Structure 1
Amino acid sequence: MQSKAIINALRYGTPPAESSWQSFGRENEIRAFNTQLALIKDGASAVKLMLGDFGTGKSELISTLKRHALEKDYVIATLQIQDGFRFNKINDFYYAIMHNLSVKHHATGKASFNDLFEIWLNNLQHSPFPNQNRFEINAVCQALSQYNMNFARAFLSFMRARIQKNPEMQQVTTAWLTGERQIPYALKQKYGLTGFVDKTNTLDFLSAFCKLLTLLDYKGLVVFIDELDLIMDYRSDLRNAAFQNLKQLIDLGDLQHALFYFSGSKSLIEDADKGILSLPSLAQRLNYTNPAAFDGTNLTQPISCLTPLSSDQLKSLGIKIASIYREAYADNVSIDNTRMLHTIDSLVTAANTRQFVTSLIAHLDTCHHEDDAQMPSS
C-alpha cells in the first residue's frame, strides 16, 4: 500500500509523504540540515534560503527535511507565501506559524496549540511528587516573563484553564496566545489578558514560544516557508517591508532554538531590482554582497542553490522508482529490465527532475495497462 502511495504522488510530480521515501541524491543537503538542527537544539537560531529552478526537487527535499525534524522532536510549521499570509506583516507571520504546527506522531498531521501540552501535562498529573504541577508551571511562567510579561501571564491563565477544565477560559487564552486579534474586550478583561499580538511585540512572542517549546522537552521550532520569491510581486513598499521582516528574523538576538528555512526560485538573487539586493542591509546579512563571487553549492552559507541531479543520479533514481513500481503492482505488471534501462537512458535528457519522474511514471503506467489488456478476463 505504501509503495502505491509513493508512485501515485510521483505520478503528479508531488513529494511522497510516506516515511520510507527519502529525497534522492540530496545527501549533502540533508546532512547540512541535520547539522543546523543540532545547533538549534543547543540554542542557536538561523535563517536559511534554499533556492532552485522549477522542477529541481525543492519540494521533495523540503518534505524529507520536515520528516527529519519531526523525528528528532522538533515542532515544525509549514507555510507558503500568500497562502493564508503575506510576509510584509510580521504579526501575520506569527499567527500563521501558530496555526500550522506539526509534532511527531500526531494523528492528524497538524497539531493545535493545545496539543503541544498533552505529554507534559500527562507527566505532571502522574508525578509522584506533591505540588509538582504548581512548581513546574510557575517555573515555566518565570522563564517566559524574561521575554514578554503579558505572554507569561496569559500562559498561566491558559494552564489554569486546562487544570480547572474551564473551556471558555482555555479557548480565550489559546486564541490570545496564538495571535488572534478579534477577542471581545469583555472576555480579555475577564481573564486578565492585556493587548494583543502586533508588530511591536510579535518577535517577543515568538521568542517566548520557542523558549516554551524547549521547556516542554521539544528540541526547538523549525518553520518552512515556501515560494519566498512571490515577495517580488508585491508593491515596492510591501516588498521592502517583507525583506525588512526577514532581516529582523536574522537580527533577533533573543531568539533561540529556531530555524527559518525559506525556499524559492533563484530570481531572488538574480533580480537586482526586486530581489535580495534591493535591500543592501539584508544582502549583507545573507552574505550576498558580491554576486560574481557567490558559491551556491556551499551549504554552510545562509543562501544555497539546489543543483539539478546529474545524469547518473537520474538513472539511479529511475531504477529505484521502477523497483517501487514493481512492488506496487507485483500482481499484474512485468517490467523488462533491458527495455526499462533503455527508457531511463532516453529520459535523462528531460529538462528537470520533475519532468523525468513524471515521464517515467507515465511510461510505467503504459506498461501496466498493456499487461492489464493481455490478462484474461475472469
Structure 2
Amino acid sequence: MNTAEPDQTDRHRHESLNIINALRRGTVPAEGLERIVVGLDMEEGVIARQLEYVAEGGGDLKFIRGDYGSGKTFFVARALEIATGKGFATAHVFVSPSAPLSKPKALYQQICANLRTNETEHALKTIVDNWLFAIEERLISAGRGGEGESALETAAEKEIETALAGISEKNTALAAALRTYYRAYNAGDFPIAQAAIGWIAAEPTIGRDFKQKAGIKGEVDDTMAFLFLSGLVEIIHSAGYQGLAIAIDELETTQGLQRNQRERSYQTLARIIDALDGGRMPHCYFLFTGTPAFFDSSRGIRSVTPLYDRISVVESGTYKNPRQPQIHLSRFDTGKLELVALKVIDVYSQAYREVDRERVSHRFIRAMIKKITGRFGGRVDVIPRIFLKEFIDVLDKCEIYEDYNPADAYEFEAGHLTGDLREEEEAVMVVEF
C-alpha cells in the first residue's frame, strides 16, 4: 500500500519539532536554522555569493571569527544549510584529538564520516552510487554500453579510470577502490563493496581481503589525504551536486598543542589555502571558525607570518566588511536574545499549539534573561544555550498546564546544570553560598 507524501504543513511541523527538540537538549538544530537566526543577513549574503562562485567551478573559503558566545558554530551550521539548499554536499568537522588539524588523514576521515546531502546523512555510499549510475546512464545514452551487463560494466570501469585520470597519475588506489566497489556491488558481494567504501573513507579496520581484490597496498595516509579529497569532490560534482562545503570548527584548540604539532597544523591550513587559490580544488568551499586569540596570539597564526598575511583583514571600525577573509561575529546581547526568543515562540506554535503571548510576554522574556544573566556575571553572551533550554521548559509548562504562570512561578535554579556547563559558562558562573 502506497503512503502519500506528507503535505507541506506536516513537513513544516516535523521541522518545527526537530528545532524545539534540539534546543531542549541544548544543541544546534540540524535543519530549519533560518527560522531562528537573527542579525546575520549581510553575512549570509556573502556566503551565498561565494557558494555561487564555487558552484561555477571556483574554490573558496571564509574564516569565522568570534569570542565564545558569538554563535560561530551556529553560523557555520546555517552556512552549511545555505549550501545544502544550493545543491552542495556538506561536512561539519570539529578539530579535536581525534581530528587534529595537523593530520590531514584524520580530517579527511572526519569529512567522509560526516558527509551529508539534502537527502541523506552519512552520504558517501549514496554519492558514489549516484556517480556510478550517472556514468552508466551516460554510456547507455551515447550507445557505448555494448551488449549485456558485462559490456556495460567494462565500459563503466574505463569511465571510472578516465574520470579520475588526474588523480591516478599521482595515486591509482582511489580508482582501484572504486572499480572494486563497482564490481563487488554488481556481483552482490556486499562485504567487499562495504569494505571498499570504508577504505575510501580512510576507516582504519579494513581487512586484507579487500586490499588483495583491489590490488591496493596500505591505506589513505597524510601525504595523500588531500589528493583523495580532491577526487571525492570530483565524484560529488559528477554525481550531480554543485560541490562540497566543509566546515572545520574550533581551530582555537590548535593553540594548546606542542609547538611542532601547531606548526604542522598551520602548514595544513596553508596547504588548503594554496590549493584553493591555485585552482586545484574546484567546487570546494571551506569554512573555518576560531576565537580572536587563534588569529592574533603568539601561539596562533600570527606566529606564521605568510599565513597571517594571507587571511588577516583591514580593520574598518564600525563598518565591518564580511567580504574580507574573516567574518567577525559580535557577541550576543539582550536585544538579539529577545529576538531569538520571539522566533522560537513562532516555531513552538507550529510544533504544538499557539503559545499564550500573555503568559509568555516581552516583559517576561526580558525578566527571564535578567534572572539567568545574574548568575553568569551579567554576561548575556555566555547564556544563549542555557536560556533557550530554560525557555523551552517554560513553553512546555505553559502548553501542558493551563494554570502555570511563568511570571510568578519561574525561578532560575542552576543546580540542575551541574555537569552540563561548558568551560566558558562555568568560568563566569556566580557561586551562591
Residue-by-residue CA offset, 1:166-217 (whole Å, 9 max, x unaligned) = 2343234323322245545564233222443222222211111111211111
Q: What amino acid does structure 1 have at the position aligned with 2:281?
A: L
Alignment partner of 1:351 out of 379, 402, 416: 379
How far the C-alpha of 1:12 sits from its partner, in A, is 4.5
Q: Does the aligned pair in 2 maintain the 1:7–1:361 contact within 8 Å?
A: no
Q: Does 1:256 align with 2:270?
A: no
| Cα contact 2:94–2:248 (8 A) shared by 1 | yes
Amino acid at match of 1:336: E
C-alpha separation in 1, matches of 2:394 and 2:192: 59
CA distance in 2, matches of 1:136, 1:171: 19
Asked if the contact 2:36–2:343 (Cα under 8 Å) also holds between the matched residues in 1, the reply is no
Instruction: Give the alignment partner of residue 110 of structure 1, picking from 86, 99, 122.
Output: 122
Residue 403 of structure 2 aligns with an amino acid whose one-letter code is Q
Give the residue type in structure 2 aligned to 1:303.
Q
Question: What residue number does 1:144 align with?
Answer: 164
After TM superposition, the structure 1 stretch with the greater mean CA deviation from structure 2, 55-64 or 93-102, is 55-64
Code of the residue aligned with 1:246 in structure 2: it is L
Deviations 1:342-365, CA, capped at 9 Å, x for gaps: 234454886335625743663674
Q: Distance in 2 between matches of 1:181 and 1:364?
A: 41
Aligned residues: 367
Q: Residues 169-188 of structure 1 correspond to what in structure 2 (within 5 A)?
A: 169-181=192-204, 183-185=206-208, 187-188=210-211
Match of 1:47 among 55, 58, 61: 61
User: Are 1:297 and 2:320 matched, yes or no?
Assistant: yes
In the other structure, the counterpart of 1:362 is 390
Q: Distance in 2 between matches of 1:99 and 1:167?
A: 19
Partner of 2:407: none
Tell me the amino acid that sits aligned with residue 326 of structure 2.
I
Contact 2:36 2:344 in 1 (8 A): no
Report the Cα offset of residue 233 of structure 1: 1.0
TM-score (norm 1): 0.84
Return 200-209 or 126-135, whichever deviates more. 126-135
Q: CA 1:284/1:373 → structure 2, altered by over 3 Å: closer, same or farther? A: same
Contact between 1:77 and 1:101, CA under 8 Å: does it hold in 2?
A: yes
Q: 1:218 to 1:343 in 2, by over 3 A?
A: same
Residue 235 of structure 2 aligns to a residue in which SS? helix
| Structure 1 residues 296 and 117, CA gap change in structure 2 (3 angstroms) | farther
Q: Conserved in 1, the CA contact under 8 Å of 2:65 and 2:289?
A: yes
Cα separation, 1, equivalents of 2:209 and 2:396: 64
Alpha-carbon distance, 1:373 to partner: 6.4
TM-score by length of 2: 0.74
Q: Corresponding residue for 2:428? A: none
Is the partner of 2:357 in helix, strand or coil? coil
Deviation at 1:68, TM superposition (A): 2.0
1:334 to 356, 371, 376: 356
Aligned in 2, Cα 1:246/1:361: closer, same or farther, shift over 3 Å? closer
Q: Distance in 1 between matches of 2:59 and 2:94?
A: 21
Q: Does 1:281 align with 2:310?
A: no
CA distance in 2, matches of 1:81, 1:296: 31
1:141 maps to amino acid:
E
1:374 corresponds to which of 403, 420, 424: 403
Q: Which string of whole-angstrom CA distances, capped at 9 and with x for unpartnered residues, describes residues 64-110 of structure 1? A: 2222222322111121111632221112211221222111112xx32
Q: Do structure 1's residue 270 and structure 2's residue 296 form an aligned pair?
A: yes
Q: Measure how far apart 1:328 and its partner are.
A: 4.5
- What's the offset of the Cα at 1:241? 0.7
Q: Partner residue of 1:223?
A: 246
For residue 27 of structure 1, what is the aligned residue in structure 2?
41
Tell me the secondary structure at the aligned position of residue 101 of structure 1: coil
Structure 2, unmatched stretches of 5+, are 1-12, 146-151, 405-433
Matched, 1:232 2:260: no
1:103-123: CA deviation from partner (whole Å, max 9, x where unpaired): 1112xx322x32213344456
C-alpha distance in structure 1 between counterparts of 2:261 and 2:318, whole Å: 29
1:164 matched to 2:193? The reply is no
The letter for the 1-side match of 2:289 is: S
Structure 1 residue runs without a partner (length 5+):
none
Task: Give the RMSD, CA atoms, in angstroms.
Answer: 3.2
Amino acid in the other structure paired with 2:213: K
- What residue number does 1:201 align with? 224
Mapped contact 1:222–1:259 kept (Cα < 8 A): yes
- Residues 59 and 67 of structure 1: is their aligned pair in 2 closer, same or farther, counting only changes over 3 Å? same
